[in-house]
Amino acid sequence: YMNITSLDQMIHDTVAKYLKKQLIVAGNWKMNMTVQEGMNFLEKIGNTDANVIIFPPYTTLALLAGEMRKRGIHYGPQNFHFLDKGAYTGEISIPMIRELGCGFLLAGHSERRQYYNETDDILQKKVVKGVSSGFQVVLCIGENLEERKSGKWRNRLAEQMILDLKDLGHHELDSVLIAYEPVWAIGTGVSASIEEIEETHCFLKAFMRKIFGRELPILYGGSVNENNALKIGACSVVDGFLIGGASLDPDKFLKIIEISKRV
């Protein structure tokens, strides 16, 4: 007879073989984490071979880029301009970001759309600039509560995808990841339900097949934490997470990283 431990191992290996997908774990630090706080955080995270991306604020990004690289963590800014330089006070450009060895760019977060008037028109320019400069762009899209309740969410998401990804070639689409973030679930502590996430990601994937002839990876964002990540990540249409609040706590973030490796 086979002992229980080896049977257990065999089941584990078989399941792992069929279900293995390494989820992407992206953390958006927003306007949090000084350099010192970021350093303490990274020391707790240690080295990782998971798919981890962190979007720190600029000062922390600049000073901790090397520390993140050393640990196997991918990184990038939370925003960027579509021009290389000029009289745009307070903005940051692609050449500045390139200097830091960033691989990823975050674009179109709902807070930027809402508080800084980032329109689909501006975002389209940013996405083209980002991918043509060799970066992976994480483009955030999402509907508001009214659009969710009235059933108009499909139209809103379709509109964002069409406008923001306009004029991208097939090859350029290789560098785009979508983060589906329902605005009503961001920072509220209440994520969308599994059914809502599945339905929405399925809709997005079908829509992409129709307009681009292919699917792009989709991260889910909106109150993901160490307790709901396993269930959300287990959905076959979820390719990873974009995490705000829980990405600020190294213990919670580490738990989510662990989950990302064994879903």
Which one from 67, 143, 147, 181 is the annotated catalytic residue? 181
Based on the residue annotation, tell me whether 67 is a catalytic residue of this protein.
no
> Contact 97/77 with Cβ under 8 angstroms?
yes
What whole-number distance in Å separates Cα of residue 152 and Cα of residue 72? 40
End-to-end CA distance of the chain: 29
Q: How far is the CB of 96 from ligand PEP (least distance, A)?
A: 23
- If you count them, how many residues does the chain have? 263
Based on the residue annotation, tell me whether 91 is a catalytic residue of this protein.
no
Chain residues that interact with ligand PEP, rule: CB under 6 A: 28, 181, 186-187, 221-224, 242-246
The first and second tokens of residue 148, run together, are 């969710």
Of residues 56 and 221, the one with the C-beta less far from ligand PEP:
221
What whole-number distance in Å separates Cα of residue 121 and Cα of residue 124? 5
The first and second tokens of residue 227, run together, are 């307790």
Q: In sequence order, what are the beta bridge partners of 75? A: 54
Q: How far is the CB of 9 from ligand PEP (least distance, A)?
A: 35
Q: Cβ neighbours of residue 157 under 8 Å, at least 6 residues apart?
A: 141, 142, 143, 180, 200, 203, 204, 207
Residue 131 burial class via C-beta count within 10 angstroms: exposed 0-12, middle 13-18, buried 19 and up: buried
Per DSSP (E only), the strands in the chain are: 24-28, 51-55, 74-75, 104-107, 136-141, 176-180, 218-221, 240-243
Crossing angle (nearest 10°) for helices 250-262 and 35-45? 40
- Are β-strands 51-55 and 74-75 bridged in parallel, bridged antiparallel, or unpaired? parallel
* Residues with active-site annotation: 109, 181
